[in-house]
Amino acid sequence: MSDLAAPRASEQQRYTHWDRARLSVVVPIGVIVAVAIVCIVVAVLSSAQRADEVAVAHERQLFSGALSNYGLRVLREVDSVASSQSATENIRRKFDPVWTEQRAGAWLAAYFKHDYILVFDGKDQPLYSMVGHHAADKAWFARAHPELAELIDFMRGRSAIMPGAIRLGVAHQTDAGVHEHAVALRSVLGQPAAIAAVAVGSDEGIATAADTAAPIMLSVKFINDDVLAGIATQIGLTNLRAVGDGAVPEGDFVYELSAPNGERIARFAWTAKRPGAEIVQSVVPFIAVALAGFALLAAFVLRYMRRTAVAIAAGETRLRHLAMHDPLCGLPNRIFFGERLEAVIDEVHSSNAPAAVLYIDLDHFKDVNDTLGHPVGDELIRNVTLRLSHTLRGGDLVARLGGDEFAVISSVGGDAVKIMALAQRIITALCAPYNIGGQNIVIGASIGIAIIDRNCAGAADIMRYADMALYRAKNEGRNRACIYDAAMDADLSKRKLLEGDLREAIENNQLRVMYQPIVNKSGETMTGVEALCRWNHPTRGEIPPVEFIAIAEHSGLIVELGAWVLRQALEDGKAWPELTVAVNVSPLQFRRADFAGLVEKTLDDTGFDPARLELELTETVLLGNIDTAEAGMLRLKALGVRLALDDFGTGYSSLLYLRRFPFDKLKIDRSFVLSIEKAADAAAIVHAVVSLGRGLGMKVTAEGVETADQHLFLRAAGVHFMQGYRFGKAATPAEISARLRAPQDYLPVDVPSAMAG
Ligand code: C2E
Ligand code: CA
Ligand code: CA
């Protein structure tokens, strides 16, 4: 049982919040981010591809436009010669070979780099030819003529098409059905070329009927490397070239030049521009930054979540702790205590090693709270906690059950002596004065103990036993510990019954007040009386005040009872003008804010002289807040009444702090007087107390004086007044009046033993 205070293993729970959070939040975030990234990449790639496609289409368009332009230029160049007036003169009207050579053939070859220049007459017979600076021979004609003849047929209107050729858009037809110009791209002798034909003199207003017989100037200009280089520069293509059937490197674009009938004229290739790659290249850094951003964001989110998860876990641990512990002092609370108690009971049942529950109740804690405020009360609880923890053994569990209630489960065992020793240590520790915020505070503590042994009942019964023992401890005078025994059960029910009866007795005026004489030191003169309450129960007979006063205090009836006794005592006391009337005041009465007012009103109502009233207070009224107690006393003193400290020697007897309180009288408790003859040091203490009281300017009364020896001793010690059976028991008012009339009849008769001997 050495680990009573240790938390249960079940408290160390595993927290899986983080794992759950990771699944429920991180996975969706990850998926969203991944999808977003994929979308972005796809968008970039597809737009890059689209840009590539657009660029290629554009280049294609430019290139085919350039080829058309090339053909049309060739036509314009031929036309510039063939349509001139001098050509009409020198070729059409009268063929002049020299002029034709110089102004047509050499001119077109030299200035426009035409490869073949031919002139055919109205019957399509060659008039002139220049093929690479020479006139064409028969063999050349045999090879080239069919391809040239197709264009001439078209010019003459004999054929509407030119197989294997792309006709460029200048097919202006005359009324006679002939064409004045024609230009086409086609393969000539296996090489791609622009081939253009112009009817000579067509612009010269010659009758169109004659056009069918007009000479035709025909020119061929190959699309060779120089031409391609020109086009490439013009439209900005890279590495433009003619390719045969061979493969081209990847990344090169191939342009097939084919006639409408599908016949291939040529194949060109160039290095295609790839703006898509540029786009990708230029976008990649941004995507990288965005990805890094996402990663960072995800990292932040994860970190934040991890922290939150940790915080939540810590919060839960704290909540658990809060649920099981007292927030003010940090001790385990009633729930924790209940669990532990049951576990300990189980252990005891199996191991047979007894344990004990100590139920601790602080006296007057409520007064501290009410008068000094809750912050001081809280601090007091913390101080009590500290003192308790220091007093207990390592294995003992201490819990706070509520306001001013604490409980201990101790493994000290079933030995009553050891348990009582522990309880006494606790009481001593808790009753030492506290200093909180400059306030001196003294409280008390009562302890009820229940032993947990093999035969014990459940936790609820154990607590009920401890509670009953606590009740007994309080009634036996507080600052005490009591161990539960079976008789207490019977006691408790008897008490409950008596409580009801007492209530009725107060209501029905069944109580009486008797007066015990208080005499001067010689014992010969009665100087006062103490009012003592009596209750003659209709069936149980005379019930001793120790019993019913305790019940009255426990139930709160003491307030009414006390007020009644005070009024009765003052009424009766009016008959004895030479006597002081002492009335007992319970701490519960004294603490009530209206107590001084009640005393004042009772004095007024009865017309009793305040100087003859002596209120007897016990040290317990001083517990709690010393300042409030002092203020209450001063209010009473202001009425003119006197104050006596009753039962001196049974409480804390802190002589030092007694100095602060305005007592007029000290009443040395009967137990001291009783022990004078038995213990030498008791006599010494009585001596010291008497001289202290005198030193503080107080009168000293000795209570319970029964023998002549006690009387002699106390008189020698300097006691001012005596009270006890030697001088008379509590008597009725009539008896007191009788005694006042005949004092000599009441003198003590015996003599001290020393004198008798
Ligand atoms: P107390 O105030 O100390 O009253 C003195 C008690 O000692 C009285 O007991 C009295 O009868 C008893 N006594 C006096 N001389 C002797 C003696 O020589 N020998 C012995 N053995 N006893 C002596 P009582 O009347 O039984 O009262 C007991 C206690 O009950 C009182 O103790 C007082 O504290 C309380 N009490 C009685 N009446 C009232 C009351 O009206 N109000 C309050 N608050 N308490 C009361
Ligand atoms: Ca008294
Ligand atoms: Ca007393």
Residue 516 CA, ligand 3 centroid: distance in Å: 11
> Can you tell me the mean pLDDT for 586-610?
95
Whether residue 146 sits in one domain with residue 188: yes
Provide the pLDDT for residue 510: 92
Confidence grade of residue 632 (pLDDT, cut at 50, 70, 90): very high
Provide the pLDDT for residue 204: 55
Q: Look up tokens 């602080």; give the residue.
A: 362
Number of CB atoms found within 10 A of residue 675's CB: 16
From CA 123, how far away is CA 113, in angstroms rounded? 28
Q: How many domains are contained in the chain?
A: 3
68 belongs to a structural domain: no
Whether residue 583 sits in one domain with residue 471: no
Instruction: Note the pLDDT tens digit of each residue in 137-164.
Output: 888 888 888 888 888 888 888 888 888 8
Q: Whose CA is nearest to atom 45 of ligand 1?
A: 584
**223, 258, 289 — which closes off a domain?**
223
568 belongs to a structural domain: yes
Residue 645 CA, ligand 3 centroid: distance in Å: 9
> Can you tell me the mean pLDDT for 610-619?
95
Instruction: Note the pLDDT tens digit of each residue in 281-311.
Output: 888 888 888 888 878 887 888 888 888 888 8
490 belongs to a structural domain: no
Residue 472 CA, ligand 1 centroid: distance in Å: 19
Residues at Cβ < 5 Å from ligand 3 ion: 646-647, 703
Nearest atom of ligand 1 to the alpha carbon of 553: 44
Whether residue 472 sits in one domain with residue 531: no
Q: Whose CA is nearest to atom 26 of ligand 1?
A: 545
Residue 59 CA, ligand 1 centroid: distance in Å: 127
Instruction: Note the pLDDT tens digit of each residue in 74-116.
Output: 998 988 888 888 888 888 888 898 898 888 888 888 888 999 9
pLDDT at 756 over 90: no
Instruction: Note the pLDDT tens digit of each residue in 59-72.
Output: 889 998 998 999 99
Burial class (CB in 10 A: 0-12, 13-18, 19+), 98: exposed
Provide the pLDDT for residue 171: 65
Whether residue 526 sits in one domain with residue 660: yes
From CA 607, how far away is CA 600, in angstroms rounded? 10
Instruction: State the average pLDDT for the chain.
Output: 87
Provide the pLDDT for residue 209: 41
Instruction: Note the pLDDT tens digit of each residue in 725-735.
Output: 999 999 999 99
Provide the pLDDT for residue 660: 81
Whether residue 572 sits in one domain with residue 456: no
How is the chain split among helix, strand and coil, in percent rounded to 5? 50, 20, 25
From CA 200, how far away is CA 81, in angstroms rounded? 9
Instruction: Note the pLDDT tens digit of each residue in 356-400.
Output: 999 999 988 888 888 888 899 999 999 999 999 999 988 899 999
Residue 530 CA, ligand 1 centroid: distance in Å: 9
The best mutation among 506, 515, 532 to test binding of ligand 1, ranked by most ligand atoms within 8 Å of the C-beta, falls on: 532
Q: Of the ranges 399-408, 540-549, 676-685, 718-727, which one carries the lowest mean pLDDT score?
A: 676-685
pLDDT at 2 over 70: no
From CA 757, how far away is CA 752, in angstroms rounded? 9
Nearest atom of ligand 1 to the alpha carbon of 667: 3
From CA 186, how far away is CA 85, in angstroms rounded? 30
> Can you tell me the mean pLDDT for 39-46?
86
Q: Could you say which ligand is closest to the alpha carbon of residue 545?
A: 1
**223, 256, 287 — which closes off a domain?**
223
Residue 726 CA, ligand 1 centroid: distance in Å: 15
Q: Whose CA is nearest to atom 21 of ligand 1?
A: 704
The CATH number given to whatever domain includes residue 611 is 3.20.20.450
Whether residue 450 sits in one domain with residue 506: no
310 belongs to a structural domain: no
**174, 198, 223 — which closes off a domain?**
223
Confidence grade of residue 11 (pLDDT, cut at 50, 70, 90): very low
Whether residue 602 sits in one domain with residue 506: yes
Residues at Cβ < 5 Å from ligand 2 ion: 584, 616, 646
Provide the pLDDT for residue 633: 94
pLDDT at 724 over 90: yes
Which residues approach ligand 1 with their CB closer than 6 A?
516, 532-533, 544-546, 549, 562, 565, 584-586, 616, 646-647, 670, 703-706, 723-725, 730
The answer to whether residues 183 and 74 touch, using CB atoms and an 8 Å cutoff, is: yes
537 belongs to a structural domain: yes
Residue 532 CA, ligand 1 centroid: distance in Å: 6
Whether residue 153 sits in one domain with residue 181: yes
Q: Phi/psi at 523 (nearest 5 deg)?
A: 85, 5
Q: Are strands 444-452 and 511-520 parallel, antiparallel or unpaired?
A: unpaired
* SS3 assignment, position 16: coil
Q: Whose CA is nearest to atom 12 of ligand 1?
A: 704
Provide the pLDDT for residue 715: 93
Whether residue 185 sits in one domain with residue 118: yes
Provide the pLDDT for residue 754: 63
Residue 688 CA, ligand 1 centroid: distance in Å: 24
Nearest atom of ligand 1 to the alpha carbon of 545: 30
The best mutation among 549, 557, 572, 598 to test binding of ligand 1, ranked by most ligand atoms within 8 Å of the C-beta, falls on: 549
Look up the domain containing 599 and give its range. Answer: 502-756
The CATH number given to whatever domain includes residue 180 is 3.30.450
H or E, element range at 240: strand 238-242
Widest CA span of the chain, in angstroms? 200
The best mutation among 518, 566, 584 to test binding of ligand 1, ranked by most ligand atoms within 8 Å of the C-beta, falls on: 584
From CA 77, how far away is CA 198, in angstroms rounded? 10
The answer to whether residues 211 and 199 touch, using CB atoms and an 8 Å cutoff, is: yes
Confidence grade of residue 20 (pLDDT, cut at 50, 70, 90): low
Whether residue 530 sits in one domain with residue 447: no
Q: Whose CA is nearest to atom 35 of ligand 1?
A: 545
Whether residue 512 sits in one domain with residue 467: no
Residue 312 CA, ligand 1 centroid: distance in Å: 63
Instruction: Note the pLDDT tens digit of each residue in 518-567.
Output: 999 999 999 999 999 999 999 999 999 999 998 998 888 999 999 999 99
Q: Phi/psi at 685 (nearest 5 deg)?
A: -65, -45
Instruction: Note the pLDDT tens digit of each residue in 736-755.
Output: 999 999 999 898 877 777 66
Burial class (CB in 10 A: 0-12, 13-18, 19+), 585: buried
25 belongs to a structural domain: no
From CA 722, how far away is CA 25, in angstroms rounded? 88
Most trustworthy range by pLDDT among 18-27, 320-329, 645-654: 320-329
Provide the pLDDT for residue 370: 80
pLDDT at 638 over 50: yes
Q: Which of 582, 599, 617, 619 is nearest to 730 (CA)?
A: 582
From CA 753, how far away is CA 712, in angstroms rounded? 10
From CA 121, how far away is CA 743, in angstroms rounded? 189
244 belongs to a structural domain: no
Count of CA atoms in the C-beta half-sphere (13 A) of 606 = 23
Cα separation values, 523 from 573, 610, 658, 725, 744, Å:
21, 25, 28, 11, 11
Whether residue 512 sits in one domain with residue 474: no
Provide the pLDDT for residue 541: 94
533 belongs to a structural domain: yes
Query: Which are the contacts of 282, defined by CB distance < 8 A and separation ≥ 6?
Result: none
